[in-house]
């Protein structure tokens, strides 16, 4: 995924945390408005993620990020591409009001932090980048993987959650969200 601009200037940090403001650093004098370039990067990532998951349309775009209270974590590798950096992938999270079924099949109204989209560039998958990004988000949000809900997770993502966080036993739901067995325990402990 190549872009005709300097990704290291656009995204000064290895992981950038983007929200509806679409800003990742300070605007440098004399440079074009970074928002437009950031929007281009997000739109391309959203399209690549949708393609990888065989979705009919992207669930991530700059316009959607601007319209919602989501956080998008964008990972770059500043050393690659002759030092001009590559965008490795992204993870998008946000809180959603959900009606979930607990282990006894009772409806529970919740508003957990949800993983909404997650994508690592095909050639860079299985190199630990996804784990780096996910761990960054967990620290930033001060949350444990078992306390989160997962929107229509792919087979690769389910394998990822099992391997890295030992999340195996999901509690059956009637919507597209997946939660794991500890989800309801950690909720009742917090109440």
Minimum distance, C-beta of residue 122 to ligand ACO, in the bound complex (Å): 8
Binding of residue 112 to ligand ACO (CB under 6 A): no
Q: How many residues bind ligand ACO (CB under 6 A)?
A: 24
Kindly tell me which of 34 and 115 has the beta carbon lying closer to ligand ACO.
115
Binding ligand ACO (rule: CB under 6 A), the pick from 86, 117, 147, 179 is: 117
Minimum distance, C-beta of residue 152 to ligand ACO, in the bound complex (Å): 6
Minimum distance, C-beta of residue 29 to ligand ACO, in the bound complex (Å): 36
Kindly tell me which of 9 and 132 has the beta carbon lying closer to ligand ACO.
132
| Residues in 35-54 that interact with ligand ACO by CB under 6 A | 52-53
Residues in contact with ligand ACO, shown as a per-residue x/- string from 130 to 169 under the rule CB under 6 A: xx------------------xxxxx-xx-xx--x------
Kindly tell me which of 42 and 120 has the beta carbon lying closer to ligand ACO.
120
* DSSP secondary structure, the chain, as one string: ---SS-HHHH--SSEEEE-TT--SSPPPTTSPPHHHHHHHHHHHHHHHHHHHTT-SS-S--HHHHHHS--EEEEEEETTTTTTT-EEEEEEEEEE--EEEE-TTS-EEEE--EEEEEEEE-GGGTTSSHHHHHHHHHHHHHT--GGG-EEES--HHHHHHHHHHH----EEP-SSSEEEETHHHHHHHHH-
Kindly tell me which of 86 and 120 has the beta carbon lying closer to ligand ACO.
120
Half-sphere exposure of 182 (CA within 13 A, CB side): 10
End-to-end CA distance of the chain: 45
Binding ligand ACO (rule: CB under 6 A), the pick from 27, 31, 107, 127 is: 127
- Which of 143, 4, 3 has the alpha carbon at shortest distance from 74? 3
- Give contact residues for ligand ACO (rule: CB under 6 A): 52-53, 115, 117-120, 125-131, 150-154, 156-157, 159-160, 163
């Amino acid at each position: 995924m190549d872009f005709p601009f300097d990704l290291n200037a656009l995204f000064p940090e290895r992981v950038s945390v983007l929200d509806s403001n679409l800003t990742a650093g300070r605007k440098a004098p004399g440079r074009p408005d970074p928002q437009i370039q950031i929007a281009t990067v997000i739109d391309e990532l959203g399209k690549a993620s949708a393609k990888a998951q065989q979705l009919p349309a992207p669930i991530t775009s700059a316009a959607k990020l601007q319209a919602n209270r989501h956080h998008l974590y964008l990972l770059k590798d500043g050393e690659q591409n002759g030092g001009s950096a590559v965008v490795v992938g992204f993870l998008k999270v946000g809180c959603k009001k959900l009606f979930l079924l607990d282990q006894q099949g009772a409806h529970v109204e919740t508003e957990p932090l949800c993983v909404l989209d997650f994508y690592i560039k095909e050639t860079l998958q299985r190199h630990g980048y996804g784990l780096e990004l996910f761990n960054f988000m967990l620290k930033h949000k001060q949350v444990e993987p078992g306390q989160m809900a997962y929107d229509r997770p792919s087979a690769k993502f389910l394998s990822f959650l099992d391997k890295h966080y030992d999340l195996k036993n999901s509690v059956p739901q009637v919507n597209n969200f997946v939660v794991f067995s500890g989800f309801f325990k950690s909720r009742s402990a917090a109440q």
